[in-house]
Amino acid sequence: MSEIITYKEVLNHKGLKNTRHRNSILELLETSTQPLTADQIYLALVNQKISINLSTIYRVLNTLVENGLIIKTNTVSDNKTLFELNSFEHKHHLVCMECKKITMVDECPFEEYEKKLKEKMGYTILGHKLEIYGVCKSCREKENNGKSIV
Amino acid sequence: MSEIITYKEVLNHKGLKNTRHRNSILELLETSTQPLTADQIYLALVNQKISINLSTIYRVLNTLVENGLIIKTNTVSDNKTLFELNSFEHKHHLVCMECKKITMVDECPFEEYEKKLKEKMGYTILGHKLEIYGVCKSCREKENNGKSIV
DNA sequence: AATGCAAATGCAAATCATTATTATTTGGAG
DNA sequence: CTCCAAATAATAATGATTTGCATTTGCATT
């Protein structure tokens, strides 16, 4: 836990009960460097000798999304739903097409662009999602040992 | 058909047979102002008194994606796959959170940003996807007739 | 510490989008 | 017109996610 505030307090404040499952899921997402699928969470917890049902994971994830503690995303390549802790910071995803790893980037070049869209299209802009696809350093190096396609 | 080239020719060139189903799906996507789900395509065709099977639609869509004629996307809100004609132009999606309508925008402010990411993260950038969320003009106006939340 | 009750969980079955299988039909080359 | 590979229909299978219902648990109150 990187904050002084514990999940127990956060959950309480939202009127949610402080259960071991909610805590272990939140803790797992906190230590993870990237968004996880429900299934990945399930496997990770089972690995930690925690007995939990997959449907419970889905239910916990959904309540946490509804209460703004975590964020739901989905990938373009495969059709899976990913969950990550809501850091309340504006982040974008850098997705490696080879190893599928996701890296977070926090720089965002958009204020200008959004203003333009607002004027041109008459939209009220609420937010955006940006995913950038590429090949990460280590995958590119692996490939260069063989033939270089990219 | 907005081009001199017919779909028949395009399909031929790709070594694909020119079937009525492929044509009706391509024509439907051409007239559509926004990406469609397999199911929406199915309903639209049935509406046109065209007898077609849903699995055929999926199969046709997948071959068309493989051959670069159409593009696969997916929505953040619900877990559905969307298909749109590949215009071979770089476009982004402007998504209305009220009516879920998608508008295309062609301006893209990214060359600079991608260069930066390449240097900083060591990534080879292949492409990106940007979705912008907001409320479209007509939805905002509808809302203002009641109470204005947004 | 014991009680009560709503909320949370486990388990199994249901649902939904998508894919695979197989028999039948069709486009189009010859 | 004939033939065959490719395309399609119909149906079953799959995999992710949701739901119904019985049981358990958190926690406020006694």
Q: Which nucleotides of D are covered by protein (CB under 7 A)?
A: 6-12, 16-20, 25-27
Pair B2, B42 in one domain: yes
Pair B50, B12 in one domain: yes
Split into its structural domains, chain B has a count of: 2
Give residue A45's pLDDT band: very low, low, confident or very high (50, 70, 90). Answer: very high
pLDDT (0 to 100) of residue A24: 96
Residues of the domain holding A3: 1-88
pLDDT (0 to 100) of residue A3: 45
The CATH number of whichever domain residue A6 belongs to comes to 1.10.10.10
Higher pLDDT, A56 or B98: A56
Q: For residue B132, how far is the Cα from the chain centroid?
A: 15
Q: Is the pLDDT of residue A99 over 80?
A: no
Pair B72, B16 in one domain: yes
pLDDT (0 to 100) of residue B98: 66
Pair A84, A94 in one domain: no
Q: Decide which of A65, A88, A111 is a domain's last residue.
A: A88
Pair B54, B68 in one domain: yes
The CATH number of whichever domain residue A141 belongs to comes to 3.30.1490.190
- Counting every residue written for chain B, the total comes to 150
Pair B107, B73 in one domain: no
Higher pLDDT, A51 or A77: A51
Point out the nucleotide closest to B18 (alpha carbon to C1′).
Answer: C27
Pair B75, B116 in one domain: no
Higher pLDDT, B7 or A148: B7
Q: Decide which of A88, A115, A140 is a domain's last residue.
A: A88
User: What residues of chain A, 28 to 47, have a C-beta less than 8 Å from chain B?
Assistant: none
Pair B9, B67 in one domain: yes
Pair B83, B107 in one domain: no
Which residue ranges in chain B fall short of pLDDT 70?
A: 1-5, 75-78, 97-100, 143-150
pLDDT (0 to 100) of residue B4: 53
Q: Decide which of A88, A110, A128 is a domain's last residue.
A: A88
Pair A145, A103 in one domain: yes
CA neighbor of A82 nearest in space, from A122, A46, A118, A35: A35
Pair A6, A73 in one domain: yes
Q: Is the pLDDT of residue A2 over 70?
A: no
Task: Give the gap in angstroms from C-alpha B82 to the nearest C-alpha of chain A.
Answer: 10
pLDDT (0 to 100) of residue A145: 66
- Counting every residue written for chain A, the total comes to 150
Interval A132-141: pLDDT, tens: 777 777 777 7
Pair A59, A119 in one domain: no
Give residue A77's pLDDT band: very low, low, confident or very high (50, 70, 90). Answer: low
